[in-house]
Structure 1
Amino acid sequence: MMMATTRLLLGAALFAAPAIASAQTPPPPPPAEAKTTADAYVAGAGKSDLYEINSSQVVLQKSQNAGVKKFAQMMIDHHQKTTAATVKAAQKAGLNPPPPALDPGATASINELQAASPADIDRLYLGQQLPAHQAALDLHQSYASGGDKAPLKASAKAAVPIVKRHIAEATKLQGSASAAGM
């Protein structure tokens, strides 16, 4: 009887593992041309910022963890500023960028957060944040070094230390969450 229960639990765990892993899927990175082409960079940076703002707004409503909520508020504040800086730089470069828009992957990631229980929200959010910020860091660093418009290259370069700080904070929070058993 105990062996059958163990097999049943093991089977359930193996069946659930892919669902748990997929529930932490961050939005996809921007396309390769976003690393060198102004219009694509502006769209990619805008999508990234919008995802960070919207996902963090969900977490502010659902999380019970003061540290995670503080991080989420920082994401909203910083990404609103980086969006404004990118738009200003784009206009200085002679572009008229449309408002940022989410792609289906970013929308799905936000939907996962909205559907998450309060007990799972912090783990899920932090699990999305690190890869999303790594993709943003790659985008900003790449455009800063190889982009085609000087004002946007400067804006991308200014975003790099901000994104690095976010990665450090998210890593620290994720470590704290793991230690706390989240």
Structure 2
Amino acid sequence: MNIKILAASAAILALAACGGNEPAGDIVVDNEALNAAGEADPGNMSLMTADPAGMPANGQEYSTMAAASDMYEIESSRLAIEKSQNDEIKELARMIVADHEKSTADLKDAAGRAQPPIEVAPAMNPEQQANMEALRSAADQFDQTYLQQQVSAHQKALAMVQAYAASGEVEPLKQHAANVSGPIQKHLERAQELAQQAPQ
């Protein structure tokens, strides 16, 4: 895949994920628009780093972003297991916890095999911390808030890992990104399904 198109796609998906509080629908990518964006400014790589959900600039940034994403997904989903009264949401949350715990373990292994090794220190970014606070105070709107956050977070994570899998420079981390894209896609699709079913 053309790297310019992939970078633009990651940025567009990230921007779409940030918009509004309504549950996101299926992602539609306008390839002609992406081609035009790449041709309009082929030397502009700021798309890859301007947004936190864009393409990581290097292996350390990928490790930091992936670890933060995992940590937020695990903590928010543990809260959903505790607070949600919806069995399907709890099932999704349990799957997310298990898959992202595995992702973190695999990330640490991959980062350790990088040359030189990269340290992984999971810590949520300010947006993720704010989402956790919103989730803790959601009360009657907990399920809707959780699902909306999961759709947005997984759109951003998917764009990020797909971009790094295609053009990252640290081979073990590229493989990690490729491996986790499938589970992230699965979580996204299921969260979208449940969000569409949830009462507004």
Mind listing any 5+ residue stretches in structure 1 that lack a counterpart?
1-20
- Could you tell me whether the CA contact under 8 Å between 1:47 and 1:100 is conserved in 2? yes
Match of 1:143 among 164, 172, 184: 164
CA 100–53 in structure 1, closer or farther in 2 if over 3 Å, else same: same
- Could you tell me whether the CA contact under 8 Å between 1:33 and 1:40 is conserved in 2? no
1:96-175 equivalence runs, <5 A: 96-117=118-139, 119-175=140-196
Letter in 1 for 2:129: T
Matched length: 153
**Deviation string for 1:69-105 (max 9, x for gaps)?**
1111111100000111111111111324132001111
Task: Give the Cα–Cα distance (whole angstroms) in 2 for the partners of residues 107 and 147 of structure 1.
Answer: 27
Partner of 1:13: none
Match of 1:65 among 59, 81, 86: 86
Tell me by how many angstroms 1:127 deviates. 0.6
**Deviation string for 1:12-35 (max 9, x for gaps)?**
xxxxxxxxx6699xxxx636451x
Higher helix share: 1
Letter in 2 for 1:129: Q
What's the TM-score, normalizing by structure 1? 0.78
- Could you tell me whether the CA contact under 8 Å between 1:23 and 1:112 is conserved in 2? no
CA 98–157 in structure 1, closer or farther in 2 if over 3 Å, else same: closer
Task: Give the Cα–Cα distance (whole angstroms) in 2 for the partners of residues 152 and 145 of structure 1.
Answer: 11
Task: Give the Cα–Cα distance (whole angstroms) in 1 for the partners of residues 125 and 108 of structure 2.
Answer: 19
Identity of aligned residues (%): 34
CA 175–31 in structure 1, closer or farther in 2 if over 3 Å, else same: closer
Q: CA RMSD in A?
A: 1.9
Partner of 1:18: none
1:30-109 equivalence runs, <5 A: 30=52, 32=54, 34=56, 36-94=57-115, 95-109=117-131
Task: Give the Cα–Cα distance (whole angstroms) in 1 for the partners of residues 113 and 52 of structure 2.
Answer: 23
